[in-house]
Amino acid sequence: MKSRKLLTVYLFLLFLAVATMFVIWFGKNYRKPILPRDYAEIEEEGILRIITEYSPSGYYISGDTIEGFQYELSQAIARVSGLEVQTLLETGLPKSFEALNKNTCDIIARNIPVTSETKENYLFTEPIVMNRQVLLQRTAEANNGIAPIRSQLDLANKEIYVPQNSPALLRLQHLEHEIGDSLYIVEDPAYSSEQLAMMVAKGDIDYAVCDLQDATIFQRELPEIDIQTDISFTQLQAWAVRKNSPVLADSLNSWLRKIKEEGSFDKIYKRYYSSQR
């Protein structure tokens, strides 16, 4: 009889221990879902969350100063909207869209090509920049006198690098069909456009493709690279928000128009892209 009572006590204590462990585990692993936000929720909190990339065209640290086209534009947005802007960083565009879909951020502040495919899933601001893809290659002076490629036909059978999931990938795939020959496209999982530009300048690779805006900035620090050969036609590029944030999209357009009217946008643009051809 005594042993049965002891067994009952032990079983009860075991149950209590297991229940306690489950509660602790559930408490650590349960995450309250982040609800979608439109302008009303953002205004109530007073914080606007953007996601951009760590690069000269996005956000980067120079000495003790934070710079970057998207960063400075977001700060102008903060000034005219009265909202605090918090900046998240993500290298890959797919990861940025993932963060937007998970409501981790409110805006993707990058130069995103506006296409029929992307418009099906996201809302875009009015165009922020006009952009196109260009070939990064070495100048003749930096390449033993070999002249840069000027015809897209001459890219046949060349090895061309782009960051993994780059918007340039689709354009290069189309270019293969247009020239009727193969391009050896390398999606680099580790390096950004800026790092690929450095590799071109040093002669580690011969060709890469990126946006003209980015290429213009890279060329200031890397005079060995040539950016004069276009790979695509001019594209409209803008910021993206979720489909369920239409009021935020309208508010962004209103703030952007105000920044342009007062001249702040031109000052920021020229600071980064003044030498753009």
Q: Which CATH number fits domain 39-130+236-273: 3.40.50.261, 3.40.50.10490, 3.40.190.10, 3.30.1130.10?
A: 3.40.190.10
Q: What is the chain's mean pLDDT, rounded?
A: 87
Distance in angstroms (rounded) separating the CA atoms of residues 60 and 64:
10
Predicted pLDDT of residue 30: 42
CA distance 56 to 206: 22
Specify the pTM: 0.74
Domains of the chain by residue range: 39-130+236-273, 133-230
Contacts of 75 (CB under 8 A, 6+ apart): 85
> Could you read off the pLDDT of 89-127 as tens digits, one per residue?
987 888 899 999 999 999 999 988 888 888 999 999 999
- 243 pLDDT exceeds 80? yes
Architecture of domain 133-230: 3-Layer(aba) Sandwich (3.40)
